[in-house]
Amino acid sequence: MARKGYGQIFGEAWRLYTRNLKKTFVIALTLLLLIFLIDAAFLGLSESYRTITLQQQSATTQFGMDQNPFQQNTAFDESTGGLAGNLVGMVTGAQDTQPPSVDSSDSSNMDSDELDAIMKQQLNTMFGVLISLVVGLLGGLLTMFTVVSLVNYYHTERLTHVIQTLKDSTRYLSSAIGLYFLITGIAIGLNIIAAVLGNLTMSFLPLAFLVILGIIGVAAALFVYWVFGYYILVIDKTGPMEALSTSYSTVQGNWWRTFGYVLLTFIIIGIVGLVLTFPVTILLVGNFLMSGTITVQMYLFQSLYSTVLQSLILPFAVAFFYTFYLSLRDKNSE
């Protein structure tokens, strides 16, 4: 059997996606809306979390302003549920929301009310960061289960109802959670190593650059080797370690091809996402310019719009990698 090219795989994935668009959209929207509702609930319940979230969104809106290379990365946080970036920020001291320190030399000049106010502010900030970690973790787990459910649906195409699909997909949940924490743990470890080594070598910038570049290279290589982990978990019904091992052996010998296909697909999806989010981005920037910050209402509107958009785009991404994996597996088995 001749090796399938990118266009052929893309076409097969597109046909699979369009044939099942209504149901996969509802599956994705059902689970991704839970992330939105959790975020919205904590925004209403916790003032400290609301402050941190809106500050981060406002900082993101200021394009190119004072970005720290060790602060959390949006693209990376989506794949790990926001957990790794926040933890690295706490470890390296790069969090924007780090509570202000109290100088012991000045504490004698403060009355008890001022000290109490500072301590309360620190506790509130720490509580807000903790909630951010929890929300990020829940978001990551729900996104992971969305991918697993979509793969399960594509692989069977016999599950007629959303509830039936979600219920059937729970049999993979324990293995998928194990795989999620395994990959997240490795990602956090690599981020911490990069941050620590980067700080240690900061006095010699060329060396620091090479160290960080090396860590990024290792992370990119592992991502490509393990890109089919969740797909193998469902299709071949394996455990977490076996899923990573099978993904590695499937990609081995096809690393550059896999890397190119993954990169090209992400570029296409990214361009489509930019075009579709442009109107909302304009509204978000306009809101920021008029008020100097992002309001809760604007943040929730943008978040809800992104959730609906992601519910349309994610099923195609899953369809592509599902089709690509089957192509590689069938070719390797010859």
Q: Report the Cα–Cα distance between both ends of the chain, in Å, rounded.
A: 8
Q: What is the pLDDT of residue 159?
A: 60
Q: What is the per-residue pLDDT across 213-256, written as a single tens digit (0 to 9) for each? A: 888 888 889 999 999 999 999 999 999 999 999 999 999 989 99
Q: What is the pLDDT of residue 84?
A: 42
Lowest average pLDDT, out of 162-176, 216-230, 278-292, goes to 278-292
Of residues 160 and 241, more confidently modeled:
241
Per DSSP, helices labelled H in 46-111 are: 47-61, 74-80, 83-92, 104-107
Phi-psi region of 64 (alpha: psi -120 to 50; beta: other; left: phi over 0): left
CA 229, distance to chain mean position in Å, is 16
Q: Which two tokens stand for residue 293?
A: 């910050």
Residues 6+ apart with CB under 8 A from 240: 175, 178, 179, 182, 229, 233
Q: What is the pLDDT of residue 97?
A: 41
- 172-176 long-range contacts, Cβ below 8 Å, gap at least 24? 172/148, 172/233, 172/234, 172/237, 173/145, 173/148, 175/233, 175/238, 175/239, 175/240, 175/243, 176/144, 176/145, 176/148, 176/230, 176/233
Q: What is the pLDDT of residue 106?
A: 52
- When computed from its CA atoms, the radius of gyration of the chain, rounded to whole angstroms, is 22
Of residues 330 and 177, more confidently modeled:
177
Q: Kindly report the pTM of this predicted structure.
A: 0.79
Q: Which two tokens stand for residue 228?
A: 């089919």
Q: What is the per-residue pLDDT across 38-49, written as a single tens digit (0 to 9) for each? A: 999 988 887 877
The DSSP output letter for 239 is -
Among candidates 149, 141, 163, which has minimal Cα distance to 318?
A: 149
Lowest average pLDDT, out of 160-169, 224-233, 249-258, 305-314, goes to 160-169
Domain ranges of the chain: 6-63+70-98+114-332
Q: What is the pLDDT of residue 113?
A: 67
What mean pLDDT is reported for the chain? Answer: 80
